[in-house]
Structure 1
């Protein structure tokens, strides 16, 4: 009996188990494990937990992930925190597999066409004739009341953009208004900037571009905060839906409705208004461009009624990549991390698609909670949250997997800064 126990004890000593392996060997093994398996292994013992938390395990995994990579500067500037390599992989797993908590804010009966701007710790949203700013706290919750309210517009805000401390809004029936984001005061107001709705505006430095339903694009110059002067106007000959300045502001693109046999995408010089690129573009009548986004000074994304997302290289004047919506819907909005990730907001059911530029098919689909089918009029994201502006609500997708966001529906808030 004693000999048998001694044999069993010797056998256990000679058996090599996983926990007995050197740390370097374990690191090599863990590199080949799936994310879910690593989570389970980290719960086995303290040693495994600390090894799996080492960056070495996550370096290769984090190199090519979408959404959470924080490679581009404009994504880092809007992120509340800099994520560790493990957190990047964990949160991306939630994006990829559609694991999130959805909360609904600013629900109302009236239907609007809201737009969004996201900064570090602040979310700006247009809502009817107002522009509101909500603060995001360390728990990723939005404040119950806005910290800034810009009111006093005569008509609904069709589009707005924030550059530094300046907010430029384009209204229905042609007005163009400038605001100070810090004080909430108007800096200028051009009541007759255009003769019809200002569908899109963009601003870089002292340069403003506005595009209107009146078929014109206008370039404005802000010589000082209170003065905005028109530099020149371009007659497109077609309803203008979207405009965007390149990152270095030397050129700008204009997306139009694609009617009257006029190309729906144009590239102009910002200083002279001369067309600088003839894009190789075969289009169907009415296949207008609803949104454009510059990736680099030489490349941009476009989307619209033809259900396609195109990546253009203006150096050769051609589309270099093409993606088609899997459900054949018009694409109203785009959001990108200027690396490998972009999202498309569709025309029905509050649907959003996640895309990888390196792949042909979309990665994941997200359906917003909405009483009626609504387009996604505006969309912004950071590594842990996606904000979607629908016609009757602001829907927030929380992929962080930490805590619970407030589920209270926001009513019309009291103003903190009100300008009339």
Structure 2
């Protein structure tokens, strides 16, 4: 009589190969079979291969890791958090509520979330407690750092080194010193009347500050030492008033050699332009011959996925992916509610999240798929919100959405979050 063979006596490497064919739910069941299976399933070796293609949690890009809190997730935790993103399992919390409506803007680092609305600037401190063996991310929000500006509304702002550089509705640009470790930001420099009207696009590198206003004016200034008094001698003014209508978005590429400008698209000139910072040559790469632009298909927000790839969104209700090497739109995704897209954010790999004009909806996209992955409706029974999502930012486990009166956070790191699978609801409704 031969001895009975048992699966649990196989070599470790053989079991790992077998477990690679199992999905996550089967692995959880296998961990309950015996002590050896439990120890193998709890190890990172089983989950590393499964975590490589995950959405949101796959922190390949260094730019994305700089805004993540916690900075790194274990492979097993990556799968669980990614599952929560895809199936709408999250906890909702309102961080800021205002009585006055505004058109806010967000920027984020791994330790601070910055929010502007009207004349106010908030810095929300982020801290986390993280356990490697299980998802236990506790983001704490300390008292908001608050500063009231004696001037015009903040339209857009950007983080650059230790400074926050903001563009205002009266054309001023202000330098704020990031003193978040002390509890507040403070204005250290004001550039008066850089533009004559609202600055709706602004970005900066260590060398340059580039801004664009609603009258079509674009200005490039050297980002010199903050102690210098004379900024005018470093200013280069590019006047596109006769060729480009209202500037609505502006972003510098990761190499700092060129920048993209998005306009309202209400003229015969296409709304997407590239400008070389050194030569100041403007190149309307995506003209009518290369892409059939519709009238009014303005670009409201953009993000560089990498130096060769630009993502845009706007009034035409599409997310578009532009390849600068082929000078073509290589992919596009239509909003499921046929809504204008006000903002866009990326993890610089597969994941994209957009904020829509209607229904307080944020949409998760996978660049490898044709359809959207999930919908997140930011409104709740307590706050029946109808505001657009004007700006949003996300890291591996948190999504922040800026509405006209509220700043809302969705936390996807919990193990017992309520499931809100709005994608399935939408599919069932349409059928």
TM-score (norm 1): 0.88
Aligned position for 2:236: 231
Q: How far apart in 2 are the matches of 1:138 and 1:71? A: 21
Select 1:161's aligned residue among 158, 163, 180: 158
**Aligned residues between the structures:** 392
- Secondary structure class of the residue paired with 1:174: coil
Is the contact made by 1:112 and 1:392 (CA closer than 8 Å) also made in structure 2? Answer: yes
Shift of residue 273, structure 1, vs aligned partner: 2.3
Describe how 1:242-253 pairs up with structure 2 within 5 A: 242-253=249-260
Q: Give the match for residue 110 of structure 2.
A: 120
Instruction: Give unmatched runs, 5+ long, in structure 2.
Output: 130-137, 418-431
Per the alignment, residue 397 of structure 2 pairs with 384
The structure that has the greater radius of gyration is 1
Once the 2 structures are TM-superposed, how far is the Cα of residue 37 of structure 1 from its aligned partner? 2.6
Q: State the Cα deviation string for residues 325-345 of structure 1 (Å, max 9, x = none).
A: 122110011100111111111
Helix, strand or coil at the partner of 1:136? strand
Q: Secondary structure at the match of 1:259?
A: coil
Question: Are 1:204 and 2:214 matched, yes or no?
Answer: no
2:72 equivalent to 1:71: no
Aligned-partner SS, 1:149: strand
State the 1:107 CA deviation: 1.6
**Structure 1 runs, 4 residues or longer, greater than 6 Å off:** none
| Structure 2 residue 375 is matched with structure 1 residue 365 | yes
Contact 2:247 2:262 (C-alpha < 8 Å) held by counterparts: yes
Counterpart-to-counterpart distance in 2, 1:349 and 1:153: 34
Whether contact under 8 Å (2:126, 2:142) holds in the other structure is no
Of 82-91 and 309-318, more deviation after overlay is shown by 309-318
Q: How many Å apart are 1:59 and its aligned residue?
A: 2.4
Q: Distance in 1 between matches of 2:96 and 2:29?
A: 39
Match of 2:36 in 1: 47
Q: Deviations over 1:60-100 (max 9, x none)?
A: 21111110011000111122231111111111111111111
Q: CA deviation at 1:253?
A: 0.6
> Which residue matches 1:138?
128
Which residue matches 2:268?
261
Corresponding residue SS for 2:63:
helix
1:18-37 CA distance string (max 9 Å, x none): 44444334323322222123
**For residues 313 and 34 of structure 1, what CA distance do their matches in structure 2 show?**
35
Structure 2 matches for 1:329-344, cutoff 5 A? Answer: 329-344=339-354
CA contact (8 A) 1:234 1:273 kept: no
Q: CA deviation at 1:153?
A: 4.2
Give the aligned partner of residue 351 of structure 1. Answer: 361
Runs of at least 5 residues in structure 1 that lack an aligned partner in the other structure? 1-9, 405-420
Q: Is the 8 A contact 1:174 1:198 kept in 2?
A: yes
Q: Deviations over 1:150-184 (max 9, x none)?
A: 43241221111101111111111222111111373
Q: 1:304-359: per-residue Cα shift (whole Å, max 9, x none)? A: 00011111122332211111112211001110011111111111122111111111
Aligned match of 1:111: 101
Deviations 1:347-383 (A, max 9, x none): 1122111111111111111111252311111111111
Q: For residues 352 and 36 of structure 1, what CA distance do their matches in structure 2 show?
A: 28
Distance (Å, rounded) in 2 between the aligned partners of 1:217 and 1:85? 45
Name the structure 2 match of 1:287: 297
Q: CA deviation at 1:394?
A: 1.0
Give secondary structure in 1 for the equivalent of 2:224: strand
Q: Structure 2-normalised TM-score?
A: 0.86
Once structures 1 and 2 are overlaid, which stretch shifts more, 265-274 or 36-45?
36-45
Aligned pair in 2 of structure 1 residues 205, 153: CA closer, same or farther (>3 Å)? farther
Contact persistence 1:130–1:153 (CA under 8 A): no
RMSD over equivalenced CA pairs, Å: 2.0
